[in-house]
Structure 1
Amino acid sequence: MNAYFERIDASSFHATPAVEGAWSVEEQHIAPALGLIAHVIEQDHHARRGSDLQLGRISFDILGTMPIDQVDIEVRMLRPGRTIELVEAVLSHDGRAAVIARAWLMQVADTAALAGSSLPAMPDREQLEPWSAGEIWPGQYVRSVDMHRRQVEPGRAWTWMRPRIPLLADEPVSPTARLLGLVDTANGVTPRLAPSEVAFPNVDLTCHLVAQPQGEWIGFDTTVTVGPAGLGLTDSVLHDVTGPIGTVQQILTVRPL
């Protein structure tokens, strides 16, 4: 398996077996598909106006599961602008929408003199032990990602990750799209209860970024919260070698098995 997806034409892609799992090995893990959507959004932007705007926020509503098969992505403009714009992308399988994404693209400006964050640092990768998500999850996708993790307790962990294979075969993607092809993995790195006892799939994902990631590894400072009436939240602060670069939130539907 050389990549998660192979391009068919301008808007169609074939999923490879590398996207398999994790709630079912008959379905796609949604993580690579979210990165693919981000890549197509960035391509659409570049074709229209070059690279003068950058992705600051992207939200995904996950409408259903997808088999490991062809997917199609269409992008449309919702709010054009000179310094900001809002676009929508719909990923579908066999004519059925599976993911709807909305992305804010925003102007680039030199704010290096103002840069900083009060978010806490996380341990360096070398301080964490190698870990395989395949210990608790089925499917090929989780086995295609290198991970180092320190779990404080179930529902609280630091994890550094990098995918071992490209998002898209024979086609470069930006560091941001590569990151967004990984972030959904956060919901599986420190479950509060074993997936064999409780299902807790996320129905959305929202990512805010303050910088394009640098380096191969992405750090996740992750906390999982479960409420008393069937709802949960996985919340992660994203890091690269420079420090915090954004956040990811995923709302969960929590269902005892």
Structure 2
Amino acid sequence: MSTGIDHPRSYYERIDERRYKPTLHTSGAWNPDEQHFSPLGGLITHAIERDRDERGSALAVSRISFDILGTLALDECDIRVEVIRPGRTIELVEAVADLGGRTAVRARAWLLTPGDTASVAGGEDAPLTPPDDLEPWGMSELWSGGYIASLDARPVSSPEPGRGTVWLAHTLDLVAGESAGPFASFVTHVDAANGIAVRRPPTEWMFPNVDLTVHLHRTPEPGWTGLDTTVTFGPEGRGITSTALHDLRGHVGHAQQILTVRPL
């Protein structure tokens, strides 16, 4: 099947209510003939938020977890969203994404009621140096693919093996002609955390993640996403990428990825 990947200003184009067509900007870092999970995670989040808005819910997506069930074909995506635990103050929503007729990702999101807790807020990490004060970093020198090439990356300090703190932004629409919510736009960057603090060269070792979980203590603002990331490799073929998440206001939450580590 032809993907028709020809739109230069978005990651996806809508086909119908549930189906989307990827552009070359989604192509992956490990294999440019596959999708990078970052834009696909943003698209799934967008579908969840769109379903919530259409149902008239005011709940905020506060945790989302993705299980990546295999390679992500550079093919059209069909996303189904279902509320599996309805409620006025708490909901659990599931989204299933099929690529090329095969289930590729299952996601679950907890939506919680917003409220005014400013008087007891606290415990956040210190803010990062703003991206306007930093120099660009060419991530495409380390990683291939259209997704990485679409990013503006600004490291807070020089990345080291297993440690990196980087701001990311892009100028593309998530879906052509549609306005994505701030959380969906934010998630579009988060999976890239595994690529900013590499422990070993990706030309010698593979360390793809098979999941991504994001927890938020407030809704991120649109624009730059700050990733303060540590990567750990264990002695038994597994690793963990742990990230403190920031926007320009400060710390907003955390992300975790489990890695399968093996030599090429």
Classify the TM-score, shorter chain.
over 0.9
- What is the deviation of 1:121? 3.1
Name which of 170, 173, 176 aligns with 1:169: 176
Contact 1:151 1:190 (C-alpha < 8 Å) held by counterparts: no
Contact 2:127 2:249 (C-alpha < 8 Å) held by counterparts: no
Q: How does 1:58-73 map to 2 (within 5 A)?
A: 58-73=64-79
What whole-Å deviation, never above 9, does each CA across 1:42-82 have from its counterpart, x for those lacking one?
A: 1111112x241000000000001122221100011211111
Q: How does 1:180-195 map to 2 (within 5 A)?
A: 180-195=187-202
Partner amino acid, structure 2, of 1:206: T
3-state DSSP class of the match of 1:182?
A: helix
Measure, in 1, the Cα distance between the counterparts of 2:179 and 2:62.
20
Name which of 202, 205, 208 aligns with 2:209: 202
Measure, in 1, the Cα distance between the counterparts of 2:77 and 2:222.
29
Matching residue of 1:219: 226
Measure, in 1, the Cα distance between the counterparts of 2:45 and 2:255.
15
- What is the deviation of 1:21? 1.7
- Taking a change above 3 Å as real, the CA distance of residues 15 and 206 of structure 1, as seen in their structure-2 partners, is same
With the length of structure 2 as denominator, give the TM-score of the two structures.
0.94
Measure, in 1, the Cα distance between the counterparts of 2:189 and 2:259.
18
Partner amino acid, structure 2, of 1:99: V
Partner amino acid, structure 1, of 2:22: A
Which range is displaced more, 61-70 or 197-206? 61-70
3-state DSSP class of the match of 1:167?
A: strand
Measure, in 1, the Cα distance between the counterparts of 2:233 and 2:92.
32
Contact 1:60 1:205 (C-alpha < 8 Å) held by counterparts: yes
Contact 2:159 2:197 (C-alpha < 8 Å) held by counterparts: no
Measure, in 2, the Cα distance between the counterparts of 1:23 and 1:152.
19
Measure, in 1, the Cα distance between the counterparts of 2:132 and 2:216.
25
2:55 is equivalent to residue 43 of structure 1: no
What whole-Å deviation, never above 9, does each CA across 1:208-237 have from its counterpart, x for those lacking one?
A: 011121241111111000000000011110
Name which of 10, 15, 19 aligns with 1:3: 10
Measure, in 2, the Cα distance between the counterparts of 1:51 and 1:142.
34
Partner amino acid, structure 2, of 1:174: G
- Taking a change above 3 Å as real, the CA distance of residues 110 and 32 of structure 1, as seen in their structure-2 partners, is same
Which range is displaced more, 216-225 or 123-132? 123-132
- What is the deviation of 1:94? 2.5
- Taking a change above 3 Å as real, the CA distance of residues 226 and 104 of structure 1, as seen in their structure-2 partners, is same
Measure, in 2, the Cα distance between the counterparts of 1:223 and 1:128.
20
- What is the deviation of 1:118? 4.1
Matching residue of 2:144: 138
Contact 2:153 2:168 (C-alpha < 8 Å) held by counterparts: yes
Matching residue of 2:246: 239
Contact 2:64 2:109 (C-alpha < 8 Å) held by counterparts: yes
Contact 2:124 2:251 (C-alpha < 8 Å) held by counterparts: no
Instruction: Give aligned pairs, total.
Output: 256
Question: After the TM superposition, which parts of structure 1 deviate over 3 Å for at least 4 consecutive aligned residues?
Answer: none
- What is the deviation of 1:127? 4.3
Q: Matched residues, percent identical?
A: 50
Matching residue of 2:261: 254
Tell me, which stretches of 5 or more residues in structure 2 are unaligned? 1-7
Name which of 14, 26, 44 aligns with 2:21: 14
Question: Root-mean-square deviation (CA), in Å?
Answer: 1.2
What whole-Å deviation, never above 9, does each CA across 1:5-43 have from its counterpart, x for those lacking one?
A: 000000000001111121001101111000000011111
2:77 is equivalent to residue 77 of structure 1: no
